[in-house]
Amino acid sequence: MEPVLIILIIFGSIASLFIVPSYLRSQERQKLQETLRAAIEKGQPLPTEVVEAMTSDVKIRPKPSPYRDLRTGIIWVGVAVGLAGLGLALNFDEPEMTFPMLGLACFPGFIGLAFILISFLGRGRDQ
C-alpha cells in the first residue's frame, strides 16, 4: 500500500502544479465578470483599461535571445549535474544505479549543451 501512496503523491503533486493555477485564474476571471455585470446593470460606464484587460488575456512569449538561451542551457546542464550527483550518491547504497542515472543525466545535459550552443551561434545576429 505504501508504494501506491507514494506514486499517488508524486503524480498528484505534478498534476496540482497545472490544475491549481488554472483553477485560481478561472475564479479570478469569474469574480471580475460578476463585478463587470453588476456595474453594467447599474448603468456605469466601463473603463477602457478593464475592457482591454479582459480581451488581452493571451500570454505573449518573450522573443528568443542569446542570453535567454544561455540561461535555459545552464539550467538544463544544472539538472543533468543534479541527476549525475544523485547517481553517484546512490552508488554508496545501490552500486548498480550509477550508470543508469548517469545515462539519464545525459538527456538534460545534451539539451542544455544544445541551448548553450544556440546562444553562442545567435549572438552575431541582430534580434
Same domain assignment for residues 38 and 87: no
Percentage of the chain lying above the pLDDT 90 cut: 30
For residue 6, give Cα distances in angstroms to 1, 3, 37, 93.
9, 5, 45, 21
Same domain assignment for residues 127 and 67: yes
Q: Whole-number mean pLDDT of the chain?
A: 85
3-state secondary structure 103-125: HHHHHHHHHHHHHHHHHHHCCCC
- Average confidence (pLDDT) over 92-118: 91
Answer with the one of 60, 75, 94 that is the final residue of a domain. 60
| Position with higher pLDDT, 16 vs 80 | 80
For the chain, helix, strand, coil in percent to 5 are 80, 0, 20
Same domain assignment for residues 72 and 56: no
Provide the domain count of the chain.
Answer: 2
Same domain assignment for residues 105 and 48: no
Residue 28: what pLDDT?
A: 86
Residue 12: what pLDDT?
A: 86
Same domain assignment for residues 121 and 78: yes
Percentage of the chain lying above the pLDDT 70 cut: 90
Same domain assignment for residues 44 and 73: no
Rounded to 5 degrees, φ, ψ at 35 are -65, -45
Same domain assignment for residues 72 and 53: no
Answer with the one of 60, 75, 92 that is the final residue of a domain. 60
Same domain assignment for residues 120 and 67: yes
C-alpha cell belonging to residue 82: 543534479
Residue 34: what pLDDT?
A: 87
Same domain assignment for residues 75 and 96: yes
Structural domain of residue 45, as residue ranges?
1-60
The H-or-E segment that residue 22 falls in is: helix 2-41
pLDDT in tens, 9-48: 888 888 888 898 889 988 988 888 888 888 888 888 877 7
Residue 125, pLDDT above cutoff 80:
no
pTM of full prediction above 0.85: no
Q: Write the CB contacts of 115 (distance below 8 Å, at least 6 apart in sequence).
A: 69, 70, 72, 73, 76
On whether the CB atoms of residues 70 and 119 are closer than 8 A, the answer is: yes
Residue 58, pLDDT above cutoff 90:
no
| Position with higher pLDDT, 71 vs 33 | 71
